[in-house]
């Protein structure tokens, strides 16, 4: 989601709405928005119904395995700011594109806590829908 922030103005200009879905509470959603500078609304799903419907899993190994720990260690070495853990750190996320009729046109189920589709891939799909 944070990788999409630099494209927010162009997406808004094209009348493409971007939003985040979180199982967290309003306090942590605001904290995330403040930390990331994301200009997107956050929809809260504390019962994780959307996660279940979309088949977004939970996994200790894919959240805290060696590959993920190495990813975070490299980020810290590069100067990235690490934020405190919030909620269920085992919940895996995903990315989805829904067209104007409500049809899911793209669904990416993250295989690890650090796994996200390339922004270029998301933008390419959005351009095709326009």
The per-residue DSSP string of 96-118 comes to: EEE-TTS-EEEEEE-SSTT----
Instruction: For the full predicted model, state whether its pTM sits above 0.85.
Output: no
Per-residue pLDDT of 20-53, as tens digits, reads 899 888 998 898 888 888 999 999 999 999 999 9
Class for the domain spanning 2-129 = alpha beta
* Cβ proximity of 126 and 99 under 8 Å: no
Q: Where are the domains of the chain?
A: 2-129
pLDDT at 42: 92
Predicted confidence (pLDDT) at residue 93 exceeds the cutoff of 80: yes
């Amino acid at each position: 989601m944070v990788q999409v922030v630099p494209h927010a103005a162009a997406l808004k200009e094209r009348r493409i709405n971007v939003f985040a879905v979180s199982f967290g509470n309003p306090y942590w959603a605001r904290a995330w928005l403040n930390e990331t500078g994301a200009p997107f609304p956050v929809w809260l799903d504390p019962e994780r119904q959307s996660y279940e419907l979309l088949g977004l899993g939970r996994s200790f190994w894919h959240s805290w395995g060696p590959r993920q720990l190495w990813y975070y260690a490299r980020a810290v070495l590069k100067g990235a700011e690490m934020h405190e853990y919030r909620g269920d750190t085992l919940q895996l996320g995903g990315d989805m594109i829904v067209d104007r009729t409500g049809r899911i046109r793209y669904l990416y189920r993250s295989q690890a806590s650090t796994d996200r589709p390339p922004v270029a891939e998301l933008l390419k799909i959005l351009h095709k829908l326009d």
